[in-house]
Amino acid sequence: MNPDNSMREQALPAEVNDMFTEKLITAQDVEPLLNLRDTLIGSAPKARAGFQSQLALRLEAEITQQHYSMRRIRMPKSLTARILLVVVAVLTVGVGGVLAVNSILRQFISYDAGLNAAFTSGNSVQLNQSQTVGNYTLNLQWANADSNRLTLGFTLAGFACPVEYVVCGIKVKLVSQSGQEIPMIDGRADDSHGVYTYLYNFNLASRNVDHAFRLEIEPYGMTNDGTDPDQPNVIRGHTVMLGEPIRLDFSAAVNNQVRVFSTLLSATDHDIPVTLRRVMVSPTQTRVVVCFVPPAPERSWTTIPHLTTRDGDVAGGAVNYVSGVGESSGEICNEHLYNAALFDYTGDWTLEITELVGFGKQGSDQQRIAGSWEFQFKVP
């Protein structure tokens, strides 16, 4: 039985009421989406394993179709995107756990193919754990952990940058149950909706960690103290902590599945040999390590990679400098990161290094060696 009109109005998210007030949508625009949502909920079997992930996939397809079948009026792209976010909210009201993260965090996850696959398959962890210290409330919404990385999605409410600071941010620290600090890889942040939203990746590769962790957040502000008298192009400033650290203990089981290719392959161009030493594929990330003797040891050298499978190019390739991977004397090693869902891929791979770049003390001081160092392999 469908809910009556009063129940349906109460189920609408706040964004819909705002758009009604602004006369950007009408009841006729939302009615088909409510009907679709009710149909999906009514057709759901009870507690069937995997139902939530399957429903999320169906919602994505239905959202796209509904978006294009809405009233054909001209709207700015930003408004069109806003309506699409409201469509997501309408469809998921009453469908518990399908998309239980805020819309910005969901966008961050969707930008990352490996994380998006984990999210839509239901293999990640929805936590919704909060901790308040002073004016700040940390809410840890989502986590995913495998052999290569641990990803956390969280929000920070009550975080406003005082006018006396030119920049504000947060210090982030992650510690395992044994007290081992987990290095950060990268992160995203958004403060456009009053509540700060973050997605951070931490490096779990070659680390033996359990499922228990502690996240520590500390807000800070940076002052502008004017130019340095001795260096007119340098702005002086100092960092001030804006509150006590917020600590939150949580559990996230680590998926230790990993596929490894460790057969050494070498290629030479410009009389410079480059060795492919290791490929590690986890459910959300692929890591490729190449090593070589730097042509000019005084420079910092980076390899420019192009990774492909039979399905096409693999996006990514951000570089870390690593050691302890079996490199020979004098070699340096670059590890390239690809946030891709390739754990189930069993076909051929091709890695081509198209350039070696050596950086001097200044960014404009570069030595570039264009070439082709190619490796073909299969990951067992």
Is the pTM above the cut of 0.75?
no
Do 322 and 373 lie in one domain? The reply is yes
Strand, coil or helix: what is 12? coil
Assign residue 144 the CATH number of its domain.
2.60.40.1640
pLDDT of 214 higher than 50 = yes
> Which of the residue ranges 72-81, 97-106, 273-282 has the most confident prediction, judged by mean pLDDT?
273-282
What is d(CA 219, CA 17) in angstroms, rounded to the nearest whole number? 33
| Tokens 């399908």 -> residue | 98
Strand, coil or helix: what is 127? strand
* pLDDT of amino acid 259: 97
Residue where a domain terminates, one of 48, 67, 99? 99
Instruction: Count H helices and E strands in the chain, helices first.
Output: 7, 21
| Tokens 């992930």 -> residue | 53
Rounded to 10 degrees, the C-alpha dihedral 333/118/311/291 comes to 0
Angle (CA) 202-204-206 rounded to 5° is 150
pLDDT of 78 higher than 80 = no
Do 241 and 301 lie in one domain? The reply is no
Give Cα 11 distance to the centre of its chain.
30
pLDDT of 349 higher than 80 = yes
* pLDDT of amino acid 193: 75
Q: Which of 134-148, 167-181, 226-240 has the lowest mean pLDDT?
A: 226-240
Residue 242 has, within 13 A of its CA and on its CB side, a CA count of: 22
Residue where a domain terminates, one of 193, 226, 251? 251
CB 213 within 8 A of CB 176: yes
Helices (H), the chain: 5-11, 14-21, 27-42, 51-69, 77-92, 103-110, 113-121
245-296 tens-digit pLDDT? 999 999 999 999 999 999 999 999 999 999 999 999 999 999 999 999 999 9
Q: Where does the pLDDT of residue 236 fall: very low under 50, low under 70, confident under 90, or very high at 90 and above?
A: confident
Q: Report yes or no on 48 lying in a domain.
A: yes
Residue where a domain terminates, one of 73, 99, 125? 99
Angle (CA) 82-84-89 rounded to 5° is 95
If 0-12 CB within 10 Å is exposed, 13-18 middle and 19+ buried, where does residue 181 land?
Answer: exposed
pLDDT of 116 higher than 60 = yes
* pLDDT of amino acid 267: 98
150-190 tens-digit pLDDT? 999 999 999 888 999 988 999 999 999 889 999 999 999 99
Domain boundaries, position 282: 259-377
Name the domain count of the chain.
3
Do 114 and 195 lie in one domain? The reply is yes
If 0-12 CB within 10 Å is exposed, 13-18 middle and 19+ buried, where does residue 158 land?
Answer: middle
Do 237 and 282 lie in one domain? The reply is no
Strand, coil or helix: what is 325? coil
Q: Report yes or no on 1 lying in a domain.
A: no
Do 221 and 206 lie in one domain? The reply is yes
Please spell the DSSP secondary structure of 260-286, one letter per residue. EE---EEEEETTEEEEEEEEEE-SS-E
Do 113 and 224 lie in one domain? The reply is yes
Q: Which residues lie closer than 8 Å to 3 by C-beta, 6 or more apart?
A: 11, 38
Do 95 and 152 lie in one domain? The reply is no
pLDDT of 25 higher than 70 = no
Do 212 and 301 lie in one domain? The reply is no
If 0-12 CB within 10 Å is exposed, 13-18 middle and 19+ buried, where does residue 375 land?
Answer: buried
Q: How is residue 28 annotated by DSSP? A: H
Do 59 and 154 lie in one domain? The reply is no
* pLDDT of amino acid 8: 44
CB 159 within 8 A of CB 177: no
Do 362 and 263 lie in one domain? The reply is yes
Q: Where does the pLDDT of residue 207 fall: very low under 50, low under 70, confident under 90, or very high at 90 and above?
A: confident
* pLDDT of amino acid 98: 41
Q: Report yes or no on 80 lying in a domain.
A: yes
Q: Report yes or no on 4 lying in a domain.
A: no
Q: Which of 88-97, 106-115, 191-200, 336-345 has the lowest mean pLDDT?
A: 88-97
Q: Which of 7-16, 167-176, 310-319 has the lowest mean pLDDT?
A: 7-16
Do 112 and 213 lie in one domain? The reply is yes
Do 109 and 190 lie in one domain? The reply is yes
- Overall residue count recorded for the chain in this entry: 380
Q: Report yes or no on 368 lying in a domain.
A: yes
* pLDDT of amino acid 152: 98
* pLDDT of amino acid 44: 42
Assign residue 349 the CATH number of its domain.
2.60.40.1630
